Structure formats: structure tokens, C-alpha cells
Amino acid sequence: MGINTVAVIGLGYIGLPTAAILASKDVTVVGVDVNLSTVEAINRGDVPFVEPDLAMYVAGAVQQGTLRATATPEPADAFIVAVPTPFRGDHEPDLSYVESAAKTLAPQLRGGELLILESTSPPGATRKMAEWVLEARPDLSLDGADGHPQIHVAHCPERVLPGRVMIELVTNDRIVGGLTPEAAQMAKDLYAIFCQGEILLTDAVTAEMAKLVENSFRDVNIAFANEISLIADRVGVDVWELIRLANHHPRVNVLQPGPGVGGHCIAVDPWFLVDAAPEQARLIRTAREVNDSKPRWVVDKAVAAVEGIEAPTIAALGLTFKADIDDLRESPARRIVAELADRLPRAQVLAVDPHVQQLPAELARRENVDLGDLDQALGADVVMVLVDHSDFRTALTEDATGRISVIDTRGVLA
């Protein structure tokens, strides 16, 4: 069957851009989200978060009538599930959002539909989603057995960078893994509507693993840089100069250290591999532990820097997980500010971020944390550079910071 209508379940940082770009190609798209304010914003042609060019795509598609949003699924030729897949407890994958999406869309199926799990997932999650659908709809099947109408299920993980999503959705290669070869080909045909990169076909579990391996590779390399920063600090060496010199070797490319690792992918996905094979994923686990421990090291540095000051003011520059976006997911800066405020109850912690208009809830409820501006920050006893926003790189010079203590976790002053 041809695909004329697509339902996108989950209108977050991946679901909404995917819905908008499909709608821009004259596909009729219904976006589904449990957050009513998100639904209402999209139906007005607005976007609930900042991503370059996304607002233009959404406004145009809504105006053309190819995109609308609702709180409950409707019948469609294809369903793309793009819901959160966090972890819980001792870093076990939490597939409850996927399960909820599967059971919610199941009543809308009539047979022949394509179901795609786009959420980054542990091995076996795509098949599990199919099982949840078939539990709710035993009259359907994956193979047409016993004359039951067939559904087609595939996994296609997103591979985009926040801040470049609308570009990379089009230009990046995609990996598509099906529970059957037919499902994989159907999913490839759907993504080919807008994807100019190569679309690579495989099975569903390999596709799931590929995304986890990509992000774990990054995490391990960041952990190496973060560990080097700890060693350099211990022996009194400028880590930025050290890495710059080491990278002059033709076969060395050390990444830049930071205050930890954030975002919805790199800080989460490696744990899915650890959970899948805990005895084998030793290096991956250690890298996660190194990166997860870096925020505590930054807090310790700040506490030491204000020792002897009865009621210090400490400025934290940046709250988002990376530069020049408003995405706060898994941000190590949030953890640093919260822990510092708790460790130093008599201190005033000024959080400064040009992309954040209000403090996240866990910071707003701490009485000694306030949202400040850069001028206020430069009058603090200690300044922590936690995110390398462009505004900070422009404003932070040796002249501006020469009289204050600076903990530069991003190499802005290097």
C-alpha cells in the first residue's frame, strides 16, 4: 500500500522536526503528543522549543494544511514512534513510553500499516514494541499467518545534532532495520521522501545497536579527554595546551574535555549496551562512570576556590547541555549548580544562560540559586564556565576576568 498519511507519536526534539519535514513534502502528517500545550502551539503554527529553521517548516506546513496535531492517534498508513527512552534504577532501560505508544496506536490499525520506532532503544525494543501491538490486536500479525492482516515494523534511529536537526535530517545517512526485509524496504521508501543521504538496510537489532555504538564511541572518547583533564590538573599542566600539542600528531585527535556529558543521547545510550551485556561492556561502563563523575570534580574545585569566604557569590555560566541551544536534557551544568547550592547553603549561585528564560524546577526551588546576567556574573567571587555559548566566548576576555577566579571547563579562555 502507498503511504499518504503519517502519524508521528511524540512531538519532541526529534518527532516534531520529522513530522514537519515530511509535511513539507506534501505528506499528510498528524502529530500526536500527550502535552496539550504542545498540541495547541503546533496547531497555531508555533514551536515549543528552539531549533533553527524548525519554526519556518512548522508554520508553513500548518498553513498548507499538511500538518496538524492532536492528543490521540488516528488511522494512518505509517506510524513513527519518537517518544523518550530514558533509564531507571540502576541504569535499566525504561520502555514504558514505547509501550504506551504501542498500546495507544494499536486500535487504529487495520492491517498493512508501517510502524517505525525512531526512539533510541536497547537491543530488542523494536520487536518488543511489535509484541505490545499484537497483544492489543491479536487479529493482526507480522507475517500474515492464519490469514491475519500483516503489519510491518522497523527501527530507524535518528542521527542528528541539536542545532542542526533540519539540515541533518536531510543530509545524514540513515540506518533502517526491519523485523522483516519487506518492512525495512517500506521504511526506506518513506525516509527517501526527504532524506538525501544513503539509506542503509539491515535487521532491527543491528539498527538498534548501531545507534548505541555511535554514541558510545563518542562517550568513550570524551571520557578519555575528561580523564586527561583530571591528570593535567593534578600535575599542574594546562590541559588545553596539552591537547592542542598532542593533536599535532597525525594519528591523534583528542576531543575537548568538559564538565561532564549531557543531552538525550550520549549521556544515556551507552547504558543500554551495558545493560544488554554487563560482563562484556567494561570499557563502556568505565567511560560512563568517568563522565558522570566530572560534575562532582567541578563542584569540588568551586568549593575550594571560595574557601574562607563566608557568603560567596558564584556564577555558573551556562545551563544547557551544549553551546547555543536551549536544550537542558541531562545537562551536567544543572547538576553542578544544584550540588553546589546544596554544598554551600550560604553562597549565592547565579545561573547565567542567554538561551534559558527561567530556571528548571530543581534549581528554582533552591533559595540560593538565581537567574542572573553576565554583568552580575563578572562581579562574582568565582565564575564557572560550564557551557561555551558564543555570547560567553565574546564577553570573557583576560581583561574582563582578570580580577576574579575562573573555573573554565570549556577552554573559553584558552
CATH homologous superfamily of domain 213-408?
NAD(P)-binding Rossmann-like Domain (3.40.50.720)
Whether residue 176 has pLDDT greater than 60? yes
**Residue 407's beta-bridge partner residues?**
384
Which cell numbers in the block locate residue 239?
A: 590541559
Higher pLDDT among residues 396 and 53, named by residue: 53
pLDDT digits (tens, 9 = 90+) for 87-131: 888 899 999 999 999 999 999 999 999 999 999 999 999 999 999
pLDDT band at 399 (very low <50, low <70, confident <90, very high): low
Encode 15-27: b = buried (16+ Cβ within 10 Å), e = exposed: bbbbbbbbbbeeb
State CA 142 to chain mean position distance.
Answer: 31
Mean pLDDT confidence for 28-38: 97
pLDDT value for 265: 87
Residues 6+ apart with CB under 8 A from 262: 320, 321, 322, 329, 330, 331, 332, 333
pLDDT value for 394: 87
Residues 6+ apart with CB under 8 A from 52: 163, 164, 165, 166
Which cell numbers in the block locate residue 182?
A: 519487506
Mean pLDDT confidence for 350-360: 95
Residues 6+ apart with CB under 8 A from 135: none
Whether residue 140 has pLDDT greater than 80? yes
Task: Tell me the average pLDDT of the chain.
Answer: 95
CATH number given to 5-197: 3.40.50.720
195: annotated active-site residue: no
Mean pLDDT confidence for 343-356: 96
d(CA 353, CA 60): 30
pLDDT value for 75: 97
pLDDT value for 280: 98
Which cell numbers in the block locate residue 74?
A: 488516528
Encode 250-269: b = buried (16+ Cβ within 10 Å), e = exposed: eeeebebbbbbbbbbbbbbb
pLDDT value for 144: 82
Q: 96-105 vs 125-136: helix axis angle to the nearest 10? A: 40
Whether residue 403 has pLDDT greater than 80? no
Question: Alpha helix (H) ranges present in 306-396?
Answer: 332-343, 361-364, 374-377, 390-395
State CA 347 to chain mean position distance.
Answer: 31
Cβ–Cβ < 8 Å for 219, 285: no
Cβ burial, residue 2 (10 Å; 0-12/13-18/19+): exposed
Mean pLDDT confidence for 180-194: 97
Other CB atoms within a 10 A radius of the CB of residue 293 amount to 14
**What is the DSSP pairing of strand 92-93 with strand 87-88?**
antiparallel
d(CA 284, CA 269): 10
211: annotated active-site residue: yes
pLDDT value for 242: 98
Q: What is the 3-class SS of 308-372, one letter each residue?
A: CCCCCEEEEECCCCCCCCCCCCCCHHHHHHHHHHHHCCCCEEEEECCCCCCCCHHHHCCCCEEEC
d(CA 286, CA 277): 14
Closest CA to 295 of 229, 237, 232: 229
pLDDT value for 1: 55
Which cell numbers in the block locate residue 210?
A: 548501531
Cβ–Cβ < 8 Å for 8, 19: yes
Q: In 85-206, where do the E strands start and end?
A: 87-88, 92-93, 114-117, 152-155, 174-178, 199-203
Look-up: residue for cell 576576555? Answer: 397
pLDDT digits (tens, 9 = 90+) for 227-260: 999 999 999 999 999 999 999 999 999 999 999 9
The three-state secondary structure class of 312 is: coil
Where is average pLDDT lowest: 33-47, 50-64, 187-201, 395-409?
395-409
- pLDDT above 70 covers what percent of the chain? 98
Whether residue 398 has pLDDT greater than 60? yes
Question: Alpha helix (H) ranges present in 237-316?
Answer: 239-246, 269-276, 282-305
Whether residue 31 has pLDDT greater than 80? yes
Angle at 60 between CA 55 and CA 63, to 5 degrees: 125
Mean pLDDT confidence for 350-355: 96
Catalytic hit among 156, 188, 195, 211: 211
Mean pLDDT confidence for 202-221: 97
Catalytic hit among 156, 265, 294, 322: 265
Mean pLDDT confidence for 301-309: 96
pLDDT value for 61: 97
Which cell numbers in the block locate residue 110?
A: 487495520
The three-state secondary structure class of 177 is: strand
CATH 3.40.50.720 residue ranges in the chain?
Answer: 5-197, 213-408
**Residue 116's beta-bridge partner residues?**
80, 154
